[in-house]
Chain A
């Protein structure tokens, strides 16, 4: 199912698809030679629906058709404006940034043609959703534990508006640009941002393709961002508790026609923001219709959150192919960020001695 401007088709087809799924059911489910549901394919998981529900919707999981269309129209407008060709003759942005917001930071991105967060809200069984999180019922991540909150505040204190000077000089503790280890994992090309590879695997600002290849013994899920291949061993056991990896250790099994993936053994910095090494993620793949999977996940990390939380969203198949995302090989940014910080610190020092 291509999603280009077919929100009407989706809503009209919604009921029919549900009905046909129920009626035709198992017969239409593509299956592998060994009789398991065949989830192989390439999927584009970009969506305008946020992970957490905007507070205005309260406990309402569903968007009306009108609300969904308004959301899509607003995004189309925003994208059209953002994708205008840049003026090649424009000068450098002013020191400290041009005041704009967005992923490129307030030094001003050239434009937003590279952003791809989808063109529609997610819909399951023809009903549009207000959030990916379905539990707690308010669509928000649950309360953090004291330890989780403290870690998050430390993390957040390292991010500030770019003011064009070394504001961290003279502050106690390490500054945010002191070492590569203090930069976000995506800046270091270690993992993609927004938990795009997860687990749980969430939509990101761009590069939202997933590629699933399935064999009787393994399921491989390629994450477009940072070319991460998640290898899920079926009917296997987790590695010993002291063996820790960036993406954890994933094992899977079939629960009827549902693929269940269980992941533990994370290191101290899982892709999911805020999570700890005690993160435990259970993911479930079901088939919604011939072109769409339903991806469900439950996050349990008692070190960080006071209760488990769950979300779900559809993965529509696409004809697109995953192109190589060679992040590290072209990572001039990390070195330049550190060098830039050293220059700003030198300027700050000079200003200090100049004043004395």
Chain B
């Protein structure tokens, strides 16, 4: 007993010391936060500024999946083969395997007709994936595309700029009320839950996808994101997907996001509108090229 209580006292002293130390550290850096080595704004809230990027295969397929030969397949004599338009790209357009980002390793809880729609989407990937046409990606997909995004964060503003397609979204820190009309990137309203920035995204069109595998939603989509710093260079990202038209129940994706550590990391222009003009309008040239 005696030893036990002495040990407890020692632990308490250590905790107090570490608490005081962390307070002192926080004090010198001009913030008033709690323990932990995450960057903070002057008001003590986590500082989300930086250039971030996902490091996973979610943009190929958010569900757990083995590698497959191509994003679009056709029937072959002994099983599926890459479809004609993607065949020439060989292994470059194959799908890397992934453990998936759907929490619990599960499948997306589609309603039967919505699952059928997903399969159709997948079979017609080239024609239907909005990414192929350089359309705005919507949320959550924007956060795990294979390109960086930059968060601009101050005490009264939170703004995301994505390199892909120059997509942007403002996160309103006061409740903006219902979205005036639906849009590609939706309307974001954010607030703090402890050290977690919770962002409710509503007002999204039904035209965006979750990945290159045809996973889709309706215009009844509501995405609730949770952005939690795990340390100075990592964020834990979760997004709960609700859409009673498409899914039988809410489901959640989760993944770490990584700070781009290159000393000169910066966003560059990816104005892909220009890159898809031949695809979208090439047939209407005065002298069309071979197609």
Contact A217 B49 (CB under 8 A): yes
**Bound complex: CA A246 to CA B272 (Å):** 12
Contact A222 B184 (CB under 8 A): no
Contact A213 B154 (CB under 8 A): yes
Within 8 A of A (CB), among B130-162: 134-136, 150, 152-157, 159, 161
Q: Please name all residues of chain A whose beta carbon is closer than 8 Å to the beta carbon of B86 when the two chains form the complex.
A: none
Binding site of B, secondary structure by majority: helix, strand, loop or mixed? loop
The one of A177, A220, A246, A335 that contacts B161, using a Cβ cutoff of 8 Å: A220
Q: Which of A129-137, A226-234, A302-310 contacts B (4 or more CB under 8 A)?
A: A226-234
Q: Which residue of chain B has its CB nearest to the CB of A212?
A: B157
Q: Which residue of chain A has its CB nearest to the CB of B172?
A: A321
Q: Which of A44-52, A146-154, A200-208, A324-332 contacts B (4 or more CB under 8 A)?
A: A324-332
The one of B30, B135, B150, B268 that contacts A328, using a Cβ cutoff of 8 Å: B135
Contact B152 A213 (CB under 8 A): yes
**Bound complex: CA A100 to CA B170 (Å):** 39
CB distance from A271 to the nearest CB of B (A): 12
Given contacts A211-B170, A328-B134, contact A233 B286 (CB under 8 A): no
Q: Which of A18-26, A60-68, A338-346 contacts B (4 or more CB under 8 A)?
A: A338-346
The one of A32, A326, A335, A341 that contacts B280, using a Cβ cutoff of 8 Å: A335
The one of B41, B161, B277 that contacts A229, using a Cβ cutoff of 8 Å: B161
Within 8 A of B (CB), among A145-165: none
Contact A190 B286 (CB under 8 A): no
Q: Please name all residues of chain B whose beta carbon is closer than 8 Å to the beta carbon of A355 when the two chains form the complex.
A: none
Contact A190 B274 (CB under 8 A): yes
**Bound complex: CA A233 to CA B51 (Å):** 12
Q: Please name all residues of chain B whose beta carbon is closer than 8 Å to the beta carbon of A290 when the two chains form the complex.
A: none
Q: Please name all residues of chain A whose beta carbon is closer than 8 Å to the beta carbon of B176 when the two chains form the complex.
A: 321
Q: Which residue of chain B has its CB nearest to the CB of A40?
A: B157
Contact B150 A231 (CB under 8 A): yes
**Bound complex: CA A342 to CA B274 (Å):** 21
Q: Which residue of chain A has its CB nearest to the CB of B161?
A: A229
How many residue pairs link A and B with beta carbons under 8 A? The number is 104
Given contacts A181-B277, A215-B154, contact A33 B30 (CB under 8 A): yes
CB distance from A225 to the nearest CB of B (A): 12
The one of A179, A220, A246, A341 that contacts B152, using a Cβ cutoff of 8 Å: A220
Size bracket of the A interface: 35 or more
The one of A188, A245, A339, A345 that contacts B273, using a Cβ cutoff of 8 Å: A188
**Bound complex: CA A329 to CA B206 (Å):** 13
Q: Please name all residues of chain A whose beta carbon is closer than 8 Å to the beta carbon of B152 when the two chains form the complex.
A: 213-215, 218, 220
The one of B41, B184, B273, B286 that contacts A177, using a Cβ cutoff of 8 Å: B286
Q: Which residue of chain A has its CB nearest to the CB of B284?
A: A338
Contact B42 A339 (CB under 8 A): no
Q: Is B3 an interface residue (CB 8 A)?
A: no
Question: B91-113 vs A: 1/0 string, CB under 8 Å?
Answer: 00000000000000000000000
Contact A324 B185 (CB under 8 A): yes
Given contacts A188-B277, A222-B168, A231-B267, contact A326 B161 (CB under 8 A): no
CB distance from A346 to the nearest CB of B (A): 11
Question: B266-286 vs A: 1/0 string, CB under 8 Å?
Answer: 111101011001001100111
CB distance from B239 to the nearest CB of A (A): 20
Q: Please name all residues of chain B whose beta carbon is closer than 8 Å to the beta carbon of A179 when the two chains form the complex.
A: 285-286
**Bound complex: CA A143 to CA B183 (Å):** 44
Given contacts A40-B156, A215-B152, A338-B284, contact A228 B273 (CB under 8 A): no
Q: Is A274 an interface residue (CB 8 A)?
A: no
3 nearest interchain CB pairs? A33-B42, A338-B284, A324-B183
Residues of chain A at the chain B interface (Cβ within 8 Å): 32-33, 40, 174-175, 177-181, 188-190, 211, 213-215, 217-218, 220, 222, 226-229, 231, 233, 245-247, 321-324, 326, 328-329, 334-335, 338-339, 341-342, 345
Give 11 A-B pairs besides A215-B49, A334-B277, A338-B285 with Cβ atoms closer than 8 angstroms: A33-B42, A175-B286, A177-B286, A214-B152, A215-B152, A220-B161, A231-B266, A324-B136, A326-B184, A329-B135, A338-B284
A-B contact pairs, 27 of them (CB 8 A): A32-B154, A33-B42, A178-B285, A178-B286, A180-B285, A181-B277, A188-B274, A190-B271, A211-B170, A213-B152, A214-B152, A214-B154, A218-B152, A220-B152, A222-B159, A227-B168, A229-B159, A231-B150, A323-B181, A324-B183, A326-B136, A335-B280, A335-B284, A338-B285, A341-B286, A342-B284, A342-B286
